[in-house]
Amino acid sequence: MPPPFICALLLHGLLGLADIVVNHELLAKLPARPGAAEEEGLHAAREAIFACLFASLAWYAWHGDWVWWIGILLLAEVIVSARDVVVEGDTRVLPVSERVLHLLLFINLGVLITLAAYVATGWHAAPAGLARVDYGWASWILSALALGAAAWACATPARRCAWPGMAWHKAGRLHRPATIGS
């Protein structure tokens, strides 16, 4: 059985994948929404962060000051998530499934950060460097998640630019059509 922080990271990858496929692609159809450019950019940034996390932790323990790399990635994810909450709230009404999944992702992110911080204290005390680890099947799944997240981080902006009239600079806010008499 992999260590708890790896289990939390795996769970986060699977929940994130479900969020992307079900909520962002199938339900919200974000790439086709003119006002979703900023949100899509944040999602691409998040995918890049998690690609680095998955790849960094799949096969290596980060000892000494190198452990700060993991901390920086987790802090970056918190910053991106905080901005994403604001942008999503300003640009669209989220379906219940997405709100619930985001709640689960936020809870798990807190668990992941807590467990990783616990492990990081031990890693920080070790001599600086990368130590090879092998979590068995979990290392392979993290590697696959890293490749998928990296591909998605690159594909998201490419797809956004492919939609006619939807450049990155056209991020919009929630549009509520005027009604007669208002």
| Percent of the chain with pLDDT strictly greater than 90 | 82
| pLDDT on residue 176 | 45
| pLDDT on residue 55 | 99
Q: Which domain holds residue 33?
A: 4-160
CB atoms within 10 A of CB 140: 13
- CA-based torsion, 113, 153, 130, 73: positive or negative: negative
25 DSSP assignment: I
123 DSSP assignment: H
Q: How many CA atoms lie within 13 A of 180 on its CB side?
A: 0
- The reply to whether 174 falls in a domain is no
- The reply to whether 166 falls in a domain is no
Query: For the whole model, what pTM was predicted?
Result: 0.87
The values of phi and psi at residue 62, to 5°, are -100, 100
The values of phi and psi at residue 129, to 5°, are 150, 175
Give the C-alpha separation, 116 to 121, whole Å.
9
Contacts of 1-8 with CB under 8 Å at 24 or more apart are 2/135, 2/136, 2/138, 3/115, 3/119, 3/135, 4/115, 5/57, 5/112, 5/115, 5/116, 5/118, 5/119, 6/57, 6/135, 6/138, 6/142, 7/138, 8/108, 8/111, 8/112, 8/115, 8/116
- The reply to whether 104 falls in a domain is yes
- The reply to whether 37 falls in a domain is yes
- The reply to whether 103 falls in a domain is yes
Each residue's pLDDT tens digit, 125-171 = 999 999 999 999 999 999 999 999 999 999 988 776 655 544 443 44
- The reply to whether 175 falls in a domain is no
Q: How does residue 177 score in pLDDT terms, banded at 50, 70 and 90? A: very low
- The reply to whether 136 falls in a domain is yes
Residue that is written with structure tokens 């960094």 in the block: 56
Structurally, how many domains does the chain consist of? Answer: 1
- The reply to whether 134 falls in a domain is yes
